[in-house]
Structure 1
């Protein structure tokens, strides 16, 4: 997914053209089906927005594709994108129980990056206490991937309760679940974002 370009996003560097090409190909060849789960649609949207973050469409290419459709054809920018992919619906997150909310946000952890506003990001920012509660629950259940994803969101948006001890919690999650590279990825991304916010 979009985390292929995560080092470039977090360090503010130009991504390797080969990485951009791989992500672009994934977007064009594997668009979500019309009945795809909301998380799949959001993942696809974020892949497109990440590509456009590094190679925005040229002037005049402002069309919007419909749900379940990859954006456009080649523009010469290297991304193969011409328009934007409309944000999927996120209303289902607003009233989700905190347990389900944390689960869904952890699945969508790649969206937890700086300067990437979205309806999912706004939902996370509005429910930091629920996310913190979900983080603790995931740790207690030894669900290290869910804990790492929730921790990444908390680090990205800030505002978590001071009593949570997020930094030490992330250390523990990495210690216990670091054999899973996805856990390590989310934890290290969380640390980088927390450090950037502290500056």
Structure 2
């Protein structure tokens, strides 16, 4: 079965690419309120099985894997509603997030930008809770990333800010995202995070 991306489920190179994309493979369906393509769900499930985190994996890699498992678990009700049997995926135990609590705001921003695929509506995790408690730090980090012309970090951080309540009115996130897209939008990862941020920001208070 091929997913919407045109990747065959038996294409191991394609499955490895899906592992790199992670939970964002299902992002269009999440942001637009549609059932995910069954082929995409199958591909993500295969990537989870084929490429589990190594024993020495970084915290970010562990959380990325957890995000994929969480996305698959959230897709189960949609499969039932569409008359398809859900894939056998149980909610995964959250990795440790204590390493985020005391991180300096610069490091915190970097780590959250790496974990931008976790910034989706109606999702909750220890990373979300840490981000919600440090929105001002994320705002500072967004401005710093723009000044340093680190467009990918700025886009990922902007995505988190769009997903959270309480961002400072003075930040001007909408204009900031416009600038990030203008300067870094040739990078598809930047374009993805900026588009996701805009769609989420439309439904959240300023």
Tell me the TM-score normalized by structure 2. 0.84
Alignment check: 8 A CA contact 1:55 1:79 kept? yes
Which runs of 5 or more residues in structure 1 are unaligned? 57-75
Partner of residue 21, structure 1: 42
> CA offsets, 1:76-134, max 9 Å, x none?
834342x2211000000001000000000000000000111000000000000100000
1:31 to 52, 63, 83: 52
Equivalent-residue separation in structure 2 for 1:19 and 1:174 (angstroms): 27
Residue 167 (str. 1) matches residue 155 (str. 2):
no
Distance in 2 of aligned mates of 1:79 and 1:185: 27
Shift of 1:198: 4.6
Residue 183 of structure 1 corresponds to 190
* Residues 136-172 of structure 1 deviation map (CA, whole Å, 9 limit, x = unaligned): 0000000000000000000001211111100000000
Corresponding residue number in structure 2 for 1:145? 152
Aligned position for 1:93: 100
* Count of aligned pairs between the two proteins: 179
Cross-structure match for 1:46: 67
- Residue in 1 aligned with 2:129? 122
Structure 2 counterpart of 1:134, from 141, 152, 163: 141
Q: What's the TM-score once normalised by structure 1's chain length?
A: 0.87
Q: Look up the SS of the partner of 2:141 in the other structure.
A: helix
Q: SS state of the match for residue 204, structure 2?
A: helix
Conserved 8 A contact 1:112-1:152: yes
Structure 2 gap segments, 5+ residues each: 1-21, 78-83
Task: Give the distance between the partners of 1:118 and 1:80, measured in 2 at CA.
Answer: 21
Partner residue in 2 for 1:70? none
